[in-house]
Structure 1
Amino acid sequence: MFFTVGIEEPCEENIAYGLSIPAFDKYGYGCVSAADQQADIPIMAREAILTIIEEMLLSGSYSLEEITDEGVTTYSKNTEYLHCNTWFMLDVELSSFEGKQQRLNITLPDILVKRIDGFVAGHRLDYKDRSHFLAQAARRELANRLVKTENPHDTQ
C-alpha cells in the first residue's frame, strides 16, 4: 500500500529530518518519526508506518481494509501539515499482517482475464499484478457485504 510521507527539512545542522505520515491521523493515531540522514528517511518512515498499523490491528478496532491514504495533493494543502516542505509516496508491503499466502487454482473466462490484466497494466501504482488486483477486489467485496450485513436497513 502507498502512504504519503511529509518531510520537515531541518533548518540547522545536527537536526534530524521530521517525518509525518498523515494517513493515520483520522483514526486517532499520530504517526511521526525522524531520520538523521536523508538516506534513512524511507527506512524510518516504513518502520513508523508498520508500528502504527500493528498497534491499530492489535487494538481490534481496525482492519487493513479500513486504512486509507488520501494522497499528496490532499495532505500538502492541509494547514495541519504546513511544516512539511517535501512530500513523497512510500510503498509499504502489508502482507505480513494478512497471514500466509496461499496459491489458488481458479477458472475465469479468458476475456475477463484479459480485462483484468489490461486494467492492472494501466494501474501499476495501485496493483502489483493480477493476484494483487484479485485480492484487493475480494477485500472490497467482503467489506461491502460486511457493511450491508451490519446495516440491513440502510437503503444506500
Structure 2
Amino acid sequence: MFFSVGVEMPANENEAFGLVVPALCNDDFGCVSAADYQDEIAEMVREAILLIVDLMVERGMDITQLKDAGPFVYAANPEYAYCSQWLLVDVDLSALEGKQQRINISLPDALLERIDNRVKQPSSGYRDRSHFLAVAARHELIDESSDMPDNKKD
C-alpha cells in the first residue's frame, strides 16, 4: 500500500527530518518518525508504519480498510502545514493480514494470460499473480452489499 508521508525539513544540521503518516494518525494512533539523513527517510517511515499497523492488528482492526487520501489532500490540510515536502512510500502489509494459504483455482487460459501480462508491466505495482488476485478480491469486497448483483442479494 502507498502511504503519503509529510516531511518536516530540519532547521539546521543538529536536527532530524520529521516524518508523519497522516493516514495512520487518528484519535487512537499517531504515526511519526524521524531520520537523521535524507537517505534514511524511506527506511525509518516504513518501520514506523509497520509498527503502527501491527499494533492496529493486535487491537483487532481490519487493516484491509486502511485508506490514504493522497499527498495533495494532506498538503492542503492546515494541520500538516509544517510539512514542506510530501512523498509516497510503498509498504507491503500482506504479512500482517494473516497467514498465507495456498489454494487451487481454475481460470480460463485467456484470463490468466491477461493477468500475467498486466503483472509483467513495470508500472502495474503487482508483485505476482497472487498479489494481483488479492488486490482484485479486496477491491470487490470493499462494500459487499452494494456491489453484489441483484440476483445474489438475500
Q: TM (normalized to structure 1)?
A: 0.79
Cα displacement (A) at 1:118: 4.7
Cα displacement (A) at 1:123: 5.4
Cα displacement (A) at 1:57: 1.4
Cα deviations across residues 35-58 of structure 1 (Å, max 9, x unaligned)? 112222112101110111112111
> What does residue 37 of structure 1 align with?
37
Amino acid across the alignment from 1:128:
R
Amino acid across the alignment from 1:124:
S
Amino acid across the alignment from 1:72:
P
Q: Is there any run of 5+ residues in structure 1 with no aligned partner, and where? A: 149-156
Q: How does 1:3-152 map to 2 (within 5 A)?
A: 3-26=3-26, 28-60=28-60, 62-120=61-119, 121=121, 124-125=124-125, 127-145=126-144
> What does residue 150 of structure 2 align with?
none
Q: Aligned partners of 1:27 and 1:137: how far apart in 2?
A: 30
Say which SS state the counterpart of residue 7 (structure 2) adopts. strand
Cα displacement (A) at 1:31: 0.9
Cα displacement (A) at 1:119: 4.5
> What does residue 151 of structure 1 align with?
none
Q: Aligned partners of 1:36 and 1:111: how far apart in 2?
A: 50
Cα displacement (A) at 1:124: 1.6
Cα deviations across residues 76-127 of structure 1 (Å, max 9, x unaligned)? 22221111111111111112212333333321112322443455438524x3
Contact 1:65 1:140 in 2 (8 A): no
Q: Aligned partners of 1:28 and 1:82: how far apart in 2?
A: 22
Paired residue total: 145
Q: Percent identity?
A: 50
Q: Aligned partners of 2:6 and 2:124: how far apart in 1?
A: 23
Q: TM (normalized to structure 2)?
A: 0.80
Amino acid across the alignment from 1:87:
W
Per the alignment, do residues 137 and 26 of structure 1 end up closer, same or farther by CA in structure 2, a change over 3 Å counting? farther
Amino acid across the alignment from 1:103:
R
Q: Aligned partners of 2:107 and 2:123: how far apart in 1?
A: 21
Q: CA RMSD in A?
A: 2.2
Q: Aligned partners of 1:77 and 1:122: how far apart in 2?
A: 31
Say which SS state the counterpart of residue 67 (structure 2) adopts. coil
